[in-house]
């Protein structure tokens, strides 16, 4: 029997978070395909039952980059990778298959029930793009623009985060805003107002704290917290447009927050946050912000 050759490969990282966010695929059955985009785009795929058709993933990544460049004014990464892993579950699972975002990549986990065997229609490709756009947008918020307690991450203890509604909700507002999908707004509404009465009684901070450790385990918490954040952003967007005759919108707020974090080299505090969004909007959003902190009625 021949033993595999052994060798050492050295990697350099600019800092701990770049190292921690690095992705490694090992084995003979994964594929990597490069696509020409605003910056190099790579799709890395492992599918246990068959090789997936990758070009639609590539096109969704290309479109997502273009949307985000227009929205924030720049791309914060030199290249980007979409990591796909579809495997037959070892045992039955009840939790949803969630994705994990990184500084310049996102990993999408799932079973093999929806693997892509051939090309999609343009309509279906755009209908399924929000997940990929949402996770690529996390390269801005919260990976480069975030509130207190998001970092540093201590591995032994999950951090208790008061503003997951911002991290997730504002970045679910972005696909709704850019793709003009009313079905997303309808989904947010259902998750906010037609969820468990116990969840509705929680303040936004309480819901975020519980979702810090239970986001995907009980996905009612995850959907409720990101939907409240998204609905807050939708209401703010409408208010900003009304008060400025559509000269400004939530796009200005998001870009302001991102640039502020980039230039400040630190997280914002939740005490600072209302003032920052007011500056970005050019109007007072305090009433909307304060109302969404309360339980849902």
The order of strands in the sheet holding 41-47 is 31-35, 41-47, 80-86, 105-110, 99-101
> What pLDDT does 153 receive?
64
Report the 10 Å Cβ neighbour count for 40: 13
Mean pLDDT, residues 146-172 taken together: 85
Distance (Å) of CA 270 to CA 61, 79, 148, 194: 32, 31, 7, 28
Q: What is the pLDDT of residues 130-151, one digit of tens each?
A: 999 999 999 999 999 999 888 7
Q: How many residues does the chain have?
A: 297
Beta carbons of 137 and 171 less than 8 angstroms apart: yes
Q: What is the pLDDT of residues 207-265, one digit of tens each?
A: 999 999 898 889 999 999 999 999 999 999 999 999 999 999 999 999 999 999 999 99
Q: What is the pLDDT of residues 51-87, one digit of tens each?
A: 999 999 999 999 999 999 999 999 999 999 999 999 9
pLDDT class of 16 with cuts at 50, 70, 90 = confident
Q: Is residue 4 pLDDT above 70, yes or no? A: no
Local structure of residue 159 (DSSP, 8 states): -
Task: Give just the sign of the alpha carbon dihedral 290, 136, 134, 61.
Answer: positive
pLDDT class of 152 with cuts at 50, 70, 90 = low
């Amino acid at each position: 029997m021949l033993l595999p050759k052994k060798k050492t490969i050295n990697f350099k990282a600019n800092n701990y978070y770049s190292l921690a966010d690095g992705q490694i695929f090992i084995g003979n059955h994964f594929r990597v395909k490069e696509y020409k985009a605003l910056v190099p785009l790579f799709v890395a795929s492992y599918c246990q039952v068959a090789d997936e058709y990758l070009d639609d993933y590539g096109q969704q990544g290309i479109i997502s980059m273009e949307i985000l460049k227009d929205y924030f004014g720049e791309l914060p990464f030199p290249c980007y990778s979409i990591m796909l892993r579809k495997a037959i579950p070892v045992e039955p699972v009840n939790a949803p298959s969630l994705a994990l975002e990184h500084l310049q990549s996102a990993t999408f986990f799932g079973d093999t029930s929806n693997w892509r065997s051939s090309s999609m229609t343009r309509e279906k490709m755009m209908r399924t793009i929000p997940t990929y756009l949402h996770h690529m947008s996390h390269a801005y918020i919260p990976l480069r623009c975030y509130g207190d307690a998001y970092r540093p991450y201590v591995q032994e203890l999950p951090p208790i985060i008061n503003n997951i509604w911002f991290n997730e909700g504002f970045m679910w507002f972005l696909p709704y805003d850019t793709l003009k999908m009313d079905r997303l707004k309808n989904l947010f509404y259902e998750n906010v107002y037609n969820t468990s009465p116990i969840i509705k009684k929680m303040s936004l901070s309480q819901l975020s704290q519980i979702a810090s450790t239970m986001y995907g385990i009980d996905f009612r918490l995850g959907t409720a917290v990101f939907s409240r954040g998204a609905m807050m952003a939708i209401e703010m967007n409408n208010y900003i447009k009304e008060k400025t005759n559509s000269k400004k919108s939530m796009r200005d707020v998001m870009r302001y927050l991102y640039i502020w974090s980039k230039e400040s080299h630190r997280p914002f505090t939740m005490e600072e946050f209302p003032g920052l969004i007011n500056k970005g909007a050019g109007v007072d959003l305090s009433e909307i912000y304060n109302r969404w902190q309360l339980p849902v009625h």
